[in-house]
Amino acid sequence: MTNSLLEKYFSAISHIIPQKETVSSLGLDIGVDSCKVVETVKTGDGYQVINWGIEPIENADTQGSVKKLLSRLKIQSKSPNTAVFGKGTLIRYIEMPRMSMEDLKKSFDIEADKYFPFARDQIYTSCYILDPVAKDKQMSVLVAAVKKEIINERMELIFNLGLQPNFITLNPIAIANVFYSSGEENPKNKTVKEGIVPSATAVLDIGETVSSLVIMIDNLPRFTRDIFLGGQDFTKKISNALGISLAEARKLKYQPGDRAQEILSLCDSTLMNLASEVRLSFDYFMTERNIPVTKLFLTGGASTLSGLLELFSKSLDISIEKWNPIVSLKISNVLDDDFNKNINRLGVALGLALYHHA
């Protein structure tokens, strides 16, 4: 069994020598309002979750939140896999003449300025061939960039916690890695049967400040977009309409009780804007690739808003459901109810925790 293909995407970005394989793998997802960890071990052809946790970030003390979370969990690994997201990060998908990975890196080092609106000396970049075994003259390439200050800040945070970062990727790639790790399709062996129309699957990870949309074909990402709408926008709508504090509005958002319909109505315009942006992305993808998106999974902390799935279903004429990655993975242990209740908040951390196993 080979290493996860997605693990190779951003090895250049982290600028850290990869550590030796450990018994367990730790995924550390640091968000705006909370940090999440998932620790896994490999068990035959599946996985076992041996640790997980969520800790809110209070008073912007991210380091204190991570430290508190790690201190109450018996974490084996001291080399977390982590990810960054939002402004200052970019992913592009391009078609290029087929060449070796070595030649691609040389070419990309010279031509990176063509793909990113950042000065070359201000970013870390990486690239990866998505169809390495195809025989076509053209190849599909994922290229990515992250501002150096974002990576450097994350590395400093990890080091200050007494940990050694294993690598740093991007949130959308971590999400895609869960699909790739499920093994439902092996792109290397995939053959398109005559008469079968290919289709794509999408995941919308609705975070606090940004929602990341990933469209995949055969469990590999082929389109990524950040939409700068999220849970904080819902909270502000509720706060302004009801004249309550942001803290009260946030609590009401997640625990609406018998006011669920009222809260959903207050967020309606923001949700419709988000659904509209998703629809535009699907239309663009269809125009560019002539492949329809036939299924959308919703995940992320803000996706738990009561009634959100139903509203999206009315706005987008495709199959939509809440994403439960445990269904597609061979998880050998029976997880507690709290884990299952919080699975929508743990997608990135889980994807990060699945990178290691060889």
pLDDT single digits (tens) 162-193 = 998 888 999 999 999 998 887 654 444 444 44
Q: What is the pLDDT of residue 16?
A: 41
Q: What is the pLDDT of residue 330?
A: 66
Measure the CA–CA gap between 195 and 293, rounded to whole angstroms: 18
Strand partners, 295: 201, 319
Cα 221 from chain centroid (whole Å): 11
Q: What is the pLDDT of residue 36?
A: 96
pLDDT in tens, 226-238: 999 999 999 999 9
Q: Hey, what are 76's tokens?
A: 């084996």
Which residue from 233, 299, 298 is spatially nearest to 266, judged by alpha carbons?
Answer: 233
Q: What is the pLDDT of residue 24?
A: 85
Q: What is the pLDDT of residue 332?
A: 61
pTM of the model: 0.88
Q: What is the pLDDT of residue 270?
A: 95
pLDDT band at 326 (very low <50, low <70, confident <90, very high): confident
pLDDT in tens, 261-294: 999 999 999 999 999 999 999 999 999 999 999 9
